[in-house]
Structure 1
Amino acid sequence: MSNQGKQSQKLLLFRLFGSRLFGIGTLKIREILPFRRVTKLPHSHHAVIGTATFRGSAVPVIDMSAAVGYPALTKEERENASIIVTDVQRREIGFLVRGVQQIIETDWKSVMPPPKALGANVFITGLLDTGSNIIQLLDVELLLAKVYPESLDTQEVMLSEVQSETLGSLNILLVDDSQVARKQLSDVLDSKGIHYHVTTNGSDALDILLKEHGSGHPIEILVSDIEMPGLDGYELAFNVRDNSSLKQPYIILHTSLNSEMSLSYANQVGANEALTKFDAEELLQAMLRGASSSTFRADTQSASSRSIG
């Protein structure tokens, strides 16, 4: 496959407890700061140690160790700790970690999904074997959902009867490795009585696309996360666009990243749109744009059409 569908991923490695290493993508990170004084928040989650000022704004700081079930850092340990300021799901959050290790470069094909035996509530989206260490990639979305459960509440979106019927007539596929993101996506469509397929990774998504095409009911709207173990969203989009035998779906890449670079790259690999998680109104409107796009009209004339709308 062409290198156009591939993008290297930089990971920040850090420690939470003992010598075990964890990682998050650097595209999520705004800045890494030494621990600073925080202002306590009343009635907050036990893992929220307070707020710190970052570039003139008050940013909540979460003790990541406490949030995932390890012992919280003591006051003495905090003095040598770091705060990773992230930009995730349209909000700035600081994560207190025991120690920042290094930044490494990898690609998502090297990342393995976590064993199913770990259960549904594990805070890990993938494992990376570097030869000397097994890096655990943290599910930041799940962590935030545990600390801020209200973030899972999906706002009610008003659709006309025609719009609901339009979306209900489409063959839709949702792809996301995060259980929190899958629930948010599913809740939106369930609330409107819209049928869909859902899977956790790009490889299975590609199989569903091929199977549905072969059965005469091709996928028309593909909503995929970007950062996933194995076949990530970029490569999935590129593989779909590179397969001239497939009726081409309208591709929406859906990401917790607010990085303009990641959204720009989504268009380069053939995605029609790239949205930052999570706004139900934006998602449904993007699907409606897909339903009326020239992609579907062109595909009735040529299965190899690649209109980017």
Structure 2
Amino acid sequence: MSSKAKQTQKLLLFRLSGERLFGIGTLKIREILPFMRLTKLPHSHHAVIGTATFRGSAVPVIDMAAAVGYPPLGREEQEKASIIITDIQRQEIGFLVRSVQQIIETDWKQVMPPPKALGNKAFITGLLDVDGDIIQLLDVELLLAKVYPESLDTQEVVLTDVQSETLKALNILMVDDSQVARKQLSDVLDSKDIPYQVTSNGDDALQILLRDHELGRPTDILVSDIEMPGLDGYELAFNVRDNSALKQPYIILHTSLNSEMSLSYANQVGANEALTKFDAEELLQAMLRGAEQAR
């Protein structure tokens, strides 16, 4: 490969409570709307404040502050708020935020992993220092899992004995900065007793790839998220393909983004496939295609 993978990413910055700034990638965003009249949803999660009509469809709207543990926005605050319409994990979701600030361009290498002291309940996947302000990048997958816990239920996928044994013989590495996504990935393979390794960032994944190659058990299949602090999925794929000494794995980029642009770019950096989260059947079938190549 002749050029380095670009990691430039645009982030939308917004506030939920007080002066603290949060951010999400703009590739997840369809539109930003002023607050509008919502239709109430009976028996819904307390953070779901209703549905908005967006391009002819009813889209659930989540008070993001309430979902992550801040006080919900009051009626007067809602009137001044904005709704961010997102396209995540094959569904449109609206997020009510106190105020939208700006869109900035950044580099994923500048994003720092959240401190381990925050534990597993923190709704952030990374921190970014912008002119002295610390931006918290929200783990939208974790937020949605808290609001819609049924989304974590892993669908039952039927494999033949031959297919199951084929995957069990492979060295599979999975990487995702979202704890929810890691659990979904792990649950799929655990249900079939398929061994694997899993890590939370691209830098560690690259070191595992290099280590296992040196130990004579090279990685056969790499499943990686795209948006991650440090080494993101695009550059991880590029680095693997650019290393001629490595036995080349079958690379599946696995993302919550539905953007055609982000998925098409996966091929440019050397990925074999790009899948939108989360469909267990699609993932296992992609791994089986990778198994065919590994033979």
Q: Check whether TM > 0.5.
A: yes
In structure 1, C-alpha distance between the alignment counterparts of 2:15 and 2:200, rounded to whole Å: 27
Matching residue's letter, 1:210: L
- Whether the 8 Å contact between 2:177 and 2:225 is mirrored in structure 1 is yes
**Deviation (angstroms), 1:3:** 4.8
1:5 corresponds in structure 2 to 5
Q: Do residues 187 (structure 1) and 202 (structure 2) align? A: no
In structure 2, C-alpha distance between the alignment counterparts of 1:79 and 1:42, rounded to whole Å: 22
1:103 corresponds in structure 2 to 103
Percent identical among aligned pairs is: 83
Aligned pairs, number: 295
Task: Report the secondary structure of 1:112's partner residue.
Answer: coil
Q: 1:256 to 1:164 in 2, by over 3 A?
A: same
Alignment of 1:161-200 (within 5 A): 161-200=161-200
In structure 2, C-alpha distance between the alignment counterparts of 1:182 and 1:231, rounded to whole Å: 17
Residue segments in structure 2 that go unaligned for 5+ positions in a row: none
1:33 corresponds in structure 2 to 33
In structure 2, C-alpha distance between the alignment counterparts of 1:180 and 1:168, rounded to whole Å: 23
In structure 2, C-alpha distance between the alignment counterparts of 1:60 and 1:228, rounded to whole Å: 26
1:290 corresponds in structure 2 to 290
In structure 1, C-alpha distance between the alignment counterparts of 2:82 and 2:179, rounded to whole Å: 28
**Deviation (angstroms), 1:4:** 3.2
**Deviation (angstroms), 1:275:** 0.2
Write out per-residue CA displacement over residues 93-120 of structure 1, whole angstroms, 9 at most, x where no aligned residue: 0000000000000011010000000010
In structure 2, C-alpha distance between the alignment counterparts of 1:175 and 1:132, rounded to whole Å: 30
Q: CA RMSD in A?
A: 1.0
In structure 2, C-alpha distance between the alignment counterparts of 1:7 and 1:182, rounded to whole Å: 22
**Deviation (angstroms), 1:47:** 0.2
Name which of structure 1's ranges 128-137 and 167-176 shifts more when overlaid on structure 2.
128-137
Matching residue's letter, 1:21: L
**Deviation (angstroms), 1:170:** 0.4
1:305 corresponds in structure 2 to none
Write out per-residue CA displacement over residues 205-237 of structure 1, whole angstroms, 9 at most, x where no aligned residue: 001001111111100000000000000000000
2:94 corresponds in structure 1 to 94
Write out per-residue CA displacement over residues 27-65 of structure 1, whole angstroms, 9 at most, x where no aligned residue: 000000000000111110000000010000000000000
- Whether the 8 Å contact between 2:203 and 2:231 is mirrored in structure 1 is yes
1:14 corresponds in structure 2 to 14
Task: Report the secondary structure of 2:218's partner residue.
Answer: coil
Task: Report the secondary structure of 1:198's partner residue.
Answer: strand
1:268 corresponds in structure 2 to 268
Alignment of 1:1-309 (within 5 A): 3-293=3-293, 296=294
Matching residue's letter, 1:164: S
Task: Report the secondary structure of 1:4's partner residue.
Answer: coil
Name which of structure 1's ranges 129-138 and 184-193 shifts more when overlaid on structure 2.
129-138
Ranges of 4+ aligned residues in structure 1 off by more than 4 Å: none
Task: Report the secondary structure of 1:203's partner residue.
Answer: helix
In structure 1, C-alpha distance between the alignment counterparts of 2:49 and 2:3, rounded to whole Å: 44
- Whether the 8 Å contact between 2:7 and 2:109 is mirrored in structure 1 is no
In structure 2, C-alpha distance between the alignment counterparts of 1:243 and 1:264, rounded to whole Å: 22
Task: Report the secondary structure of 2:4's partner residue.
Answer: helix
Q: 1:231 to 1:2 in 2, by over 3 A?
A: farther
Write out per-residue CA displacement over residues 173-209 of structure 1, whole angstroms, 9 at most, x where no aligned residue: 0000000000000000000000000000000000100
In structure 1, C-alpha distance between the alignment counterparts of 2:66 and 2:47, rounded to whole Å: 5
Residue segments in structure 1 that go unaligned for 5+ positions in a row: 298-309
